[in-house]
Amino acid sequence: MGNSAGGNLAYHVALRAANGIAAGQLKIRGVILHHAFFGGVERTGSEERLAVNPMLPLESADMAWEMCLPVGADRDHEYCNPMAGGGSELLEKLRAVGCRVAVIAYEGDPLVDRSKEVVRMMEDKGIDVVAHFESGGSHGLEIMDAEKGKEFNGGVLKKFVQSCLAA
User: Out of 34, 35, 132, 139, which one is annotated catalytic?
Assistant: 139
20 half-sphere exposure, CB direction, 13 A CA radius: 6
Distance of CA 64 to the CA centre of its chain: 17
User: Out of 46, 109, 113, 132, which one is annotated catalytic?
Assistant: 109
Check if 12 is active-site.
Answer: no
User: Out of 4, 46, 88, 138, which one is annotated catalytic?
Assistant: 4
Q: Which of 11, 128, 3 is nearest to 81 (CA)?
A: 11
Check if 4 is active-site.
Answer: yes
Q: CB of 102 within 8 A of CB of 31?
A: yes
Check if 77 is active-site.
Answer: no
List, by residue number, the catalytic residues: 4, 109, 139
